[in-house]
Amino acid sequence: MLGSGLESFGMAQVLIDLNQAGLDLEPEEMEAYALRLAEELREDLAEEAGLAREEDVPEGAMSGAAAFLLGILKAEVNATNLLAVMKWLWNLRPNTVLKLSYKNGDREFNLEYRTQEQLEQQIAAIRELDSFTVQLIQTK
């Protein structure tokens, strides 16, 4: 899934970690919430979306609270919808920081976004993508 620009990478795997978003939900509530978000993603933004399985999450990418993958979604997103998914996440929890991790071959990059403008600038600069992990972090 490597390409010379954002519009050419085809589909990207996006992992969305909701565990640090300050949701304060019981495990059953978190699962129901994550399933509802996966359904919303499938409606308009992602080709596929659902709860992540252990083999979907890169080693070291899970937060401590995600030992059972509770609150982690996996989605297949095309280039056209990638920025829309990020904006959707931003609107979902406006008082959060988006942490974006992505891989390019054997290199891994970790970025934080506090404003939508920062996010748009960085997404436009990304050239070769094969997977994303996104965390929503509640700010104080």
Give the span between the Cα atoms of 10 and 17, in whole angstroms: 22
Instruction: Note the pLDDT of residue 130.
Output: 54
Residues with Cβ within 8 Å of 22's Cβ and at least 6 positions away in sequence, in order, are 93, 95, 96, 138
Instruction: Note the pLDDT of residue 3.
Output: 27
Instruction: Note the pLDDT of residue 2.
Output: 24
Q: Is the pLDDT of residue 14 over 70?
A: yes
| Closest-CA residue to 107 (of 127, 80, 123) | 127
CA angle 39, 35, 28 (to 5 degrees): 160
Instruction: Note the pLDDT of residue 137.
Output: 67
Number of Cα atoms under 13 Å in the Cβ half of residue 87: 11
Q: Is the pLDDT of residue 129 over 60?
A: no
CA angle 28, 32, 78 (to 5 degrees): 135
Give the span between the Cα atoms of 44 and 114, in whole angstroms: 25
Instruction: Note the pLDDT of residue 8.
Output: 43
Please tell me which residue, 57 or 130, carries the higher pLDDT value: 57
Please tell me which residue, 24 or 139, carries the higher pLDDT value: 24
As beta bridge partners, residue 99 has 112, 135
pLDDT tens string 70-113: 888 888 888 678 778 888 888 888 777 888 777 667 777 777 88
pLDDT tens string 22-69: 889 999 999 999 999 999 999 989 999 998 887 776 665 545 444 447
Helix (H, G, I), strand (E, B) or coil at 91: helix
